Amino acid sequence: MPHPTTPSGASADFTRHPTLRERADALARGATTSERLVADALARIAAHQAGGGHAYVGTVDASAALQAARDSDRRRAAGQVPSPLAGLPVSIKDLFDVQGQATQAGSAGAVPGTQPALADAGAVPGTQPALADAAAVARLRAAGAVLLGRTNMSEFAFSGLGLNPHHGHPAHPHDAARITGGSSSGAAVTVALGLADAALGTDTGGSIRIPSAFCGLTGFKPTARRVPLAGAYPLSRSLDSVGPLARSVDCCAILDAVLSGETLDTAAPPLAGLRLGVTEDFVLDGLDGAIAQAFDQALARLSAAGAQIVRFGFAELLELPGINAAGGLVTAEAWHVHRDRLQDPAQAARYDPRVAQRTRRGAAISAADYIDLLDARARLQATARDRLQGLDAWLMPTVAVLAPLLQDVATDDDRFFATNAKVLRNPSVLNFLDGCALSLPCQPAGGLPVGLSVGGLHGADARVLQVGRAVEACLRAG
C-alpha cells in the first residue's frame, strides 16, 4: 500500500497502532502512562503539522493535554479509573463545543463584530469561546479521556468528500493524492496516523463511515438521538448522529457506551447460522471494480464460515434519487440553520461557495414539500422493516467507489457534486431509514481501503455491534 507522497510526520500504516483495549491494558499493567501516550501523540501532531498536514484545526493545546494526562495518572495511582478510556487521547470534530474554545464547524467563522445567528442552538460559528462542553464531549471528559484538539472537517459538515478551503484539505493517510472523505475528514486522519487513539465525529449521510471506509478504519453511526446532540452544531435535525471513528468494533463499543450512556451487550455471536442480508437494488449499482471484488470476497469468506447470505429485493430504494431530487431533508433543514447568514452578503461571502450553493437549494423546498419528504421517509422505513425481517444484519459496500483523487474534485464543480453524490449514496440509505451501521475494513492486502457496511434499522445498535464483531473476526482471520 503506498504511503503518502507528502510529509505526514507519522506512518500511514494504521494497523500498527494499538486498540483502545490494548492501550487500557498497558496502562493497567503499568507498561506505559497517560502522559507518555499523550506526549507521543503530541509529537506526532507536531510532525504532521510541520509537514503540512491539516488533520487538526488551529493549535493543539499541548500544555493542557499533558496536564490532563498527568492528572489521569495520579487518579489511576489512587485507584480512580472511570472507564477504559481513562488517560487515552481523543480528538474532537470541530462542530462540538469544548468549554473555553471557539467552535467554527470547519468554517471561516462569523464576520468579526457581528452577532452570529442561532446563538441559542449550541455551538455557533464565531470567535467566542463555548461556555460549556457539548454533551458528548462532557461524557468523554467524565470517562477520563484526554481531549487533544479540534479536527478539520467539511464546512458545516455538508459534504461527503472532506475538503476544506479555509483550513486545508486533510490528506489521505495511505495516498496523499486522494481525498480522505468527509465530513469527519480530520477525525479519520488523526486515528489512522496515530495522532489520537480515537475520534469523536458526526454522521448525517455517512460522515463517520465514509472517511472510515476510505482510511481503513472502523466507524459506527448509532441510531440517531441515542447520543445527545446538545452543543453540536446542527446540519439536519432529522438525520444527525454522533459516534466514533476508531480501530476496531470493540473500540467503537467502548466509545458508544460512554457517548450514549448505555452499555449494550455486544458479545460476538457464532458466525455460523447468522442471516446476513444483501440486496442488489440501488446500493450495488455502478460499483468500482475494486469495491465489487472486495465485497464479493468478503461475502464468500463469511459464507465459508457458515453465515447465510440472504439475497432480498428492495426495489423501493430506487425511489430515493427522486425523493431527494430537490435536496432532501438535509438541504431543507440546513437552510433553516443557515438562512439568516446566507441572506447577509457579508456573512455569505465567508462560506465555502459549494456549501452555500447546496444549502441555498433548501430555500425552494416548501412546507408541503417537506411534509412529502417526511411521509416518503416513513413509507420507506415501513418497507425496510418488512424487507429486513428475520435478518441479523444488512451488508453492503460502505461507499461505492475508492477514495477519489483530489485533483479530480478540487477545482471542477460538476465533478465535485457528482462525486459527492456517488460517495454519499450508500451510507445515506441508513440515515434516511433511521438505522445504524458499522463500517469495517475489507480490502485485500496491499489494496486501497474498502469499507464493508454492517447495518440495521432503528434501535438495532446492539445487534449491529454483535454481528460486527463476528464479521470483523472472520475478515481479520484471513
- Enzyme catalytic residues: 93, 183, 207
The answer to whether residues 453 and 398 touch, using CB atoms and an 8 Å cutoff, is yes
What is d(CA 319, CA 315) in angstroms, rounded to the nearest whole number?
Answer: 8
The answer to whether residues 38 and 199 touch, using CB atoms and an 8 Å cutoff, is no
230: nearest Cα among 90, 156, 300, 136: 136
| φ/ψ of residue 278, rounded to 5 | -135, 130
The kind and range of the H/E element at 74 are helix 62-77
Running DSSP on this structure, what letter comes out for residue 7?
-
Helix pair 413-432, 353-360: axis angle to 10 deg: 50
At position 180, the amino acid (one-letter code) is T
227: nearest Cα among 436, 414, 21, 383: 436
**C-alpha distances out from residue 48 to 41, 108, 186, 406, 444, Å:** 10, 22, 12, 19, 28
Spacing of C-alpha 465 from chain mean position: 16
Question: What is residue 148's three-state secondary structure?
Answer: strand
